[in-house]
Amino acid sequence: MFNQNRIFRVFELINFLKAKPSKGMKTLVSLLDISERSVYRYLDLLAELGIIVLKDEENRYFLPANTDKQSLPFSDQEIDYLVKLVQSVGNQHNLSQSVLQKIQGLTVANVGAENIFKAHLSQIIFNLYEAITQKNQVILKNYYSANSQIVSDRLVEPIAFTPNYEAIVAYEVSSGENKYFKVERISEVQITKGNFKFEELHKYNKPDIFGFQGTSLDKTIELDMSMRAYLILKDEFPGCKPFVTEMYGTGRFHFKAKVQSFAPPARFVKGLRGDVNVLGSKPFLKFLEKNKEE
């Protein structure tokens, strides 16, 4: 039978592996604040639960998009025990109420990773909404940066959510910049007692289809993609879907759109070598060449 710490670790690991991009072992060690040996033990435990963790070409871990079809194989007795364990934590853990709302009264068939993941994100969104309403600074705990591959705490003043609550636009105190933070990369939101101090510097520019904030859509991206690349694109960046045309009979897909920065689509292209061909845009090709070692 699981003890409560192991249960919460399982939920946390599922959350991190569901959130894009894929995570390397060092990143998982930092996010979970445990040893590398312990991370391997929890990966083995997920396998025992029937949840298969995959690796990408760079040996980083992730859970595929269809993870929600897998279920944690708890018996009815284990579900009752799980509820009691979570209740025993009281309000000491930020996931307690979220988890209870999702598992209370559910059957074995629908107690799954997707439910827990959504509950986790719902709690983060709720806390950010409260902070925006009350104008409180917050700490984004263990935020995972896809650019630097660094996990760190960020003191910010939240401004607004992007469409579909995929990200929060916030003023970062340390850098003095308005930034875009992916909700699924936030481990926890800690609301501080400090009120907004830089409200006059808050700015919100609508992000492009890759989630980058800027002032003008002046850069063109044109791609030829495999089916695999297209499925990953529409899953990770849903706003791109209207700009994709299926090339019937070829198994290929054509994408062309205006963006505000080459950096996000460049990361997408570099992560799918062999599945994506860059067409047309010479500036984008130059950007890829210049940043190929990053």
Distance CA 10, CA 25 (A): 16
118 versus 55: the higher-pLDDT residue is 55
The residue with greater pLDDT, 71 or 162, is: 162
- Cα 81 from Cα 292, distance rounded (Å): 51
Question: What does the mean pLDDT of the chain come to?
Answer: 79
272 vs 205, residue with greater confidence: 272
CA angle 68–148–233, rounded 5-degree value: 40
| Stronger pLDDT, 5 or 157, i.e. the higher one | 157
Higher pLDDT, 60 or 122: 60
Predicted local distance difference test score (pLDDT) of residue 223: 95
Reference 270, options 77, 61, 57; nearest CA is 57
Give 102 or 288, the one with higher predicted confidence. 288
Flag whether pLDDT at 147 surpasses 60: yes
What pLDDT shows up at residue 33? 78
Between 34 and 101, whose confidence is greater? 34
Q: Can you tell me the mean pLDDT for 138-152?
A: 86
What pLDDT is recorded for position 16? 80
Side-chain-side CA neighbours of residue 15 (13 Å): 28
Buried b (16+ CB within 10 A) or exposed e, 224-253: bbbeebbebbbebbebbeebbeeeeeeebb
Report pLDDT for 53: 87
Structure-block tokens of residue 163: 């469409």
Single-letter residue type at 276: V
Decide: 184 and 20 in contact? Cβ < 8 Å: yes
pLDDT(196) > 90: yes
Map out the domains of the chain with their CATH numbers.
4-122 (1.10.10.10), 123-201 (2.30.30.30), 219-290 (3.30.70)
pLDDT of 191 > 50? The answer is yes
pTM, 2 dp: 0.51
**Residue 162's pLDDT is what?**
78
Q: What pLDDT was estimated at residue 74?
A: 52
Note the pLDDT of residue 35.
86
Phi, psi of 164 (to 5 degrees): 65, 15
pLDDT band at residue 146, thresholds of 50, 70 and 90? confident
